[in-house]
Structure 1
Amino acid sequence: MSCYFQVGDRDLWNPSNSVATLFLDQAEAFSRLVGHSSGLGPIVEDECQVDVARFQKFTGLLVKRYQDSNNRTLRSLTEGFIVVSLVLVQRAGGEVEEIEQGYAEMWTALREAQDRAMPDD
C-alpha cells in the first residue's frame, strides 16, 4: 500500500504507508518546534492533501531554525525531514525563500539527490 501526497488532484509523492505516516508524525513534532502548522492534512483513503502556502512557510521556518542553530544534534534530527520537504515544495511549484546564500549549494545538492529517490506516481 502507498499514500499520495497531493495538491488537489496533482501527485507530489507516493511513499509507502509506513513512510507517509512517519513523515506526518515528524511534521507534527516539527510544527511544535517552529510554532506553525505544517500544512499537511491527515491521510484519508490513502491521500494526504498539502496546503502549499502553509507547507512552504513551515518548511522555511524549519530551514531557518536549522541555519540559525549551531546544535549538531538538532541539525542531524531535522536535516532529512527538511530535504524531503524541499522536494515537495519544489514539486508543488513553491520556493523556500529562507535559504541563506551560504547554505544554498548544500540544500540544492541534497534536494536534487533526494528528488531522484522519491516516487511521485
Structure 2
Amino acid sequence: MSYTFDIGDDTLWGPANSVARIFLGMVRTLSEEYQVPSGVGDDLMGMVEIDPVEFAAFVQRVLTERANSLHMYKDMMLDGVLPILIAMADRGRLGIVGGTPEERAYLEGVRVRKLPMLAPSQ
C-alpha cells in the first residue's frame, strides 16, 4: 500500500504508508511553526491533493528558513524533509528558486542528488 501526492491528475510522489504519515506530520509541524499554509491537503484514504500555489510558497519558506539557520539540530531536521519538498515541487514544475546564494547552493545540492520520486505504479 502507498499514498499518492497529486496535483490534479499528476502524481508527484507515491511513498509507502508509514513514510507518508511521517512526512505529513513533518509538513503539519512546519506549517504551524512558520505560520504558512503548506498546500498539502487532507489525507483522503491515501490520496493527498497538493495546492500548487500554496505548496510552492511553503517550500520557498522552508528553504529560506534552512538557508538562514544557524542551529545544527534544526538544520538536521529540515534536511530530512526539505529535499523531498524540493523534489516534489520540481516534479510539479512549481519554479522553486533561490533568492540568496545560500538558497541557490542548497537547491543545487538537492537537485544534483536527483531523488527518485516514484509513483505507486513504478
* 1:93 correspondence with 2:60: no
1:119 corresponds in structure 2 to 118
2:56 corresponds in structure 1 to 56
TM-score (norm 1): 0.89
1:110 shift after superposition: 2.1
Alignment of 1:12-27 (within 5 A): 12-27=12-27
> Which structure has more strand as a fraction of its residues?
1
Cα distance in 1 for residues equivalent to 2:98 and 2:105: 14
Q: Percent identity?
A: 22
Q: Measured at CA, do residues 87 and 50 of structure 1 come closer, stay the same or move farther in structure 2, by a change above 3 Å?
A: same
* Structure 1 alignment gaps of length 5 or more: none
Structure 1's consecutive aligned runs of 4 or more residues displaced over 4 angstroms after TM superposition are none
RMSD between superposed Cα atoms in Å: 1.6
- 3-state SS of 2:58 partner: helix
Q: Measured at CA, do residues 86 and 68 of structure 1 come closer, stay the same or move farther in structure 2, by a change above 3 Å?
A: same
Cα distance in 2 for residues equivalent to 1:85 and 1:97: 13
Equivalenced residues, count:
120
* Structure 2 alignment gaps of length 5 or more: none
Provide Cα deviations, 1:39-58, integer angstroms capped at 9, x if missing partner: 10112132100001101101
Query: Which amino acid in 1 is paired with 2:31?
Result: S
